[in-house]
Amino acid sequence: MTLSLEQRLRDAASFARLTEPEWSGYVAALKSAEPEAPELSALLKVLVTLPSEAATAASPVKERLSGDVLWSPLLEKLWRPAVAGEPARRLSPDAVADAMRLYRALGSGSRARHQLLRLLAASEEHAALVAFADLAASDPPREAQDILLAFVPLFQSKTYPPHALFPRLLDAMHDATLVTVVLDLANYLTRSQRAGQHPAADRVERLGSLLGGVVGRLARLQESPGQFTTSADELNKMVSDSAGLVVALINALALIGDASVTGKLHQALELAHRRIRIEAGWALAKLGDEAGTQVLLEMAADPLVRARVVAALDELGQLDKLA
């Protein structure tokens, strides 16, 4: 008789006490096992017990039961087509609670636990989305790539209720990657008319202050890069991360439509970064400042960015101004 993945997992602690070849064989068997859709809740119920067993175990059992070698393939299986269907979209309250408990138990050092955030994000259940927002805001993954992967389902699904995520996600303002993806999501929901108003509409002052700070940092990077790093790779990453955040902030402020931030947008125009200048020009024009339109028309002469400028002018309904 072929054992289900759930049944195999019940023996994890026992196999973790065996020799290295036996443990490796067990992990390989888990990787090859294909879960069935109805197993999702039962799998979570078993998985959530493993961290507590690891906590009381001695080495090497502790490391085996808590390591990403075990957890990465297991949690990834929650996303296999057979599993990530109706049961994933309609997570039960118990499954949501178990996913939250497991996420916290795995701890911030885990490179696998973001898969649990993906599971919650893909659910259309209000409770699952509330849990996602709370975990993302209070205990986000450490790595930028894991943060981005966790949010992917929220940009793919078009039927979940945005109010389950906001305003809680706006409390996630302590990491550049996290702030960027949260604002990107808020901007996406606003542009697609999924949100009645921009989720950050009541935080204009804070967003404007953040924009001014990041633009100031980029200006210093532009003028004196050697004060920050001598590595070209590190410098490129600093610029890329900051530019992504600036673009998200500019878009948010423009979509909110508060003209009090035009001064911050003019500061962004002083940067050499082409994309930032295009976004700032678009935002100013959207807010009724003709200086923004003029910047876009001037930048249209640059073949490297002309297509993006044309798209910006088209969105503004000002394409006729382009000679």
Q: Quick one: pLDDT at residue 64?
A: 94
C-alpha span between 76 and 118 (Å, rounded): 10
Domain ranges of the chain: 5-165, 202-321
Q: Quick one: pLDDT at residue 82?
A: 44
Q: Quick one: pLDDT at residue 226?
A: 84
Q: Quick one: pLDDT at residue 169?
A: 97
Q: Quick one: pLDDT at residue 86?
A: 62
Q: Quick one: pLDDT at residue 4?
A: 80
pTM (global) more than 0.85: yes
Give the single-character DSSP code of 65.
H
Q: Quick one: pLDDT at residue 1?
A: 46
C-alpha span between 87 and 75 (Å, rounded): 15
Q: What is the DSSP string of 220-243?
A: HHHH-GGGT-S-HHHHHHHHHHHH
Q: Quick one: pLDDT at residue 84?
A: 58
Burial of 57 (0-12, 13-18, 19+ CB in 10 A): middle
C-alpha span between 53 and 7 (Å, rounded): 17
Q: How many CB atoms lie within 10 A of CB 72?
A: 16
C-alpha span between 140 and 256 (Å, rounded): 26
Give average pLDDT by consecutive 10-residue segment, the chain, 323 residues: 78 93 93 77 91 91 94 85 61 93 95 95 92 97 95 92 96 91 98 94 96 95 86 88 96 96 96 96 97 96 96 95 82
Place of tokens 């992504």: 244
Q: Quick one: pLDDT at residue 6?
A: 85
